[in-house]
Structure 1
Amino acid sequence: MTILQAIILAIIEGVTEFLPISSTGHMIIGSSLMGIASDPFTKMFTVAIQLGAILSVIVLYWKRFFQSFEFYFKLIVAFIPVAIVGLLFKDYIDALLERVDVVGYTLLIGGIFFLFVDKIFEGNETSQKQIDYPTALKIGIIQIISMIPGVSRSAATIIGGLSQKLNKKTAAEFSFFLAVPTMFAATALKILEYIMDGGSFGTHEITLFAVGNVIAFIVAMIAIKSFITFLTKHGFKLFGYYRIVLGIVILVLYYLGVGLSIV
């Protein structure tokens, strides 16, 4: 992987991680178009650059992270379901992550659903409901669905929040907060697996890692601020159309035998 390829992947990560359009689907397209080999470092890198995205949430919402201990307890409650399922079904989930066709179908199905989300939850717009522990747990349970590649973690958690009568802004922000423990755990696990399998961090790898996280941090900050504004004004329909198009593209390329791979 070259530095330019690392920068492009980091931009893709920063833009797509917090939008309900599946960062995995975009990584497939991006890495395949650039001809990036699916080697152990690349697989680790595409997960590890989430650290930059995580940091962007903490920087943008730093006051919330220092508000009270109850804030952290709610995040832990929401994080527990996906942590348990992830540990119990790790091998099955890893196998599913290799299925490019699954990514295509989940993007497509999720996109169709998104065309109707605004109508389904239109009564939430005036809601002032805040997140209590039962709500956090239910959103965390719904987040389990995002372990299917292509679903999108942000999509699952935002829809989970809307299903609990939260308005779009509150649901989206909690999705960002929940990303911190979820993505940190996934990143730490991936780096640990890479090291235990004999992976090394030479000068080139460290440079790619550093550059990737800095770019992901900057781009994610812009994406988060823009997404909140767009979502509250325009809703989910445009994301639905986008997911449908992307899903169809991936499926067509897959069934034509084009060499797509999940890095």
Structure 2
Amino acid sequence: MSHLELLKAALYGLVEGVTEWLPISSTGHMLLLGKFVRLDVSTDFWNMFLVVIQLGATMAVCVLYFHQLNPFSPGKGRAGRRATWLLWAKIVVACLPAAVIGIPLDDWMEAHLGGPYVIAAALVVYGIAFIVIEGARARRANEALRQAASGAGPRHMAPAHGEDELPLADRDARVTSIEELGWPTAIGIGLFQVLSMVPGTSRSGSTIIGGLILGCSRAVAAEFTFYLAVPVMVGASGLRLAKFFLKGNSFSSQEAMVLACGCACAFVVSLVVIRLLMGFVRKHDFRPFGWYRILLGAAVAAYFLFLG
């Protein structure tokens, strides 16, 4: 077993663990990384690896939010268990649009929309969307604050949780906790998740944008995005593994180690990144990620236009 291949797999796990949760497109980063760091594996294994490595990142959500997602968690009474089952029902229903549309079109999307220019365009378009949406939220919040200060508007913009708990632009959000997330909002976020079928869009990016548009605070939009990842990524990984084995493929010992190393690194890095992101969004908006997406999209397009 080559130690170099394990180092490469660890690097892919690092990139996956960072980019899966930040709204900056793991696909775009993996595409660029694949041009510079190539694994010594078969094409079928490579296509499977890029999807199944997400399982490591998903396990981080299960660990960090074990209490919230486990209806049998110690300390939960009947009401707590009922609330957790209700949350899971919303998660499953929100995932149905992506499953119904995504599974039949999975191969077609990969064949026709997996090119670098589509990915670059999606990076730029959604980067602009983040900047525009957050800019509009900031302007509304500042205008409401000015009105409150002049006595022409409400005296405060704080939700029931307390003014200091939310950034200024989140204080007029209708949904400031997961418990307040209603069925229409959950289903709406699920419909936005369908947009992530286009490579470069970013699953977290599309669902976070959906949550912001539908009136969620940044923290709620990000947290519900993490929850949606569990069934989506488990399902996508299972589907890709099934296709891999149905083609008559099997793992070599080296490929098994590469996959295990990539997943393990993605898991560890995700534990850190998820915590950092939740701390970040409680004080800042998503505009820095929007600018980063635009720059990355331009870099992807330029690379494949002149060097690819």
Q: TM-score surpassing 0.5?
A: yes
Residue deviations 1:104-148 (CA, integer Å, cap 9, x gap): 111111112222222233456123522122211111011101100
Partner residue in 2 for 1:261: none
Residue deviations 1:22-46 (CA, integer Å, cap 9, x gap): 0000001111111447711111111
Mapped contact 1:21–1:107 kept (Cα < 8 A): yes
- Classify the secondary structure of the residue corresponding to 2:283: helix
Output the amino acid matched with 2:57. Answer: A
Gaps of 5+ in 2: 72-83, 142-168
Mapped contact 1:96–1:148 kept (Cα < 8 A): no
Partner residue in 2 for 1:65: 69
Mapped contact 1:121–1:162 kept (Cα < 8 A): no
Distance 1:120 1:84 in 2: 33
Gaps of 5+ in 1: 259-263
Report the count of equivalent residues: 258
Shift of 1:257: 4.3
1:28 pairs with one of 31, 41, 57: 31
Asked if 1:49 is matched to 2:53, the reply is yes
1:74 pairs with one of 78, 90, 112: 90
Structure 1 or 2, whichever has the larger Rg, is: 2
Partner residue in 2 for 1:153: 203
Distance 2:130 2:112 in 1: 23
Partner residue in 1 for 2:261: 211
* Deviates further, 96-105 or 37-46: 37-46
Distance 1:120 1:57 in 2: 31
Mapped contact 2:130–2:209 kept (Cα < 8 A): no
Distance 2:137 2:112 in 1: 31
Residue deviations 1:47-73 (CA, integer Å, cap 9, x gap): 111111111001001111124211111
Shift of 1:163: 1.5
2:190 pairs with one of 140, 145, 148: 140
Asked if 1:13 is matched to 2:16, the reply is yes
Output the amino acid matched with 1:111. Answer: G
Shift of 1:199: 1.5
Q: What does 1:93-242 correspond to in 2, within 5 Å? A: 93-122=109-138, 125-126=170-171, 127=173, 129=175, 130-242=180-292
Distance 2:28 2:19 in 1: 9
Mapped contact 1:96–1:149 kept (Cα < 8 A): no
Partner residue in 1 for 2:146: none
Shift of 1:202: 2.3
Moved over 3 A (4+): 35-38, 121-124
Distance 1:41 1:195 in 2: 10
CA RMSD of aligned residues (A): 1.6
Mapped contact 1:106–1:149 kept (Cα < 8 A): yes
* Deviates further, 160-169 or 227-236: 227-236
Distance 1:255 1:207 in 2: 35
Output the amino acid matched with 2:54. Answer: Q
Q: 1:231 to 1:96 in 2, by over 3 A?
A: farther
Output the amino acid matched with 1:19. Answer: L
TM-score (norm 2): 0.80
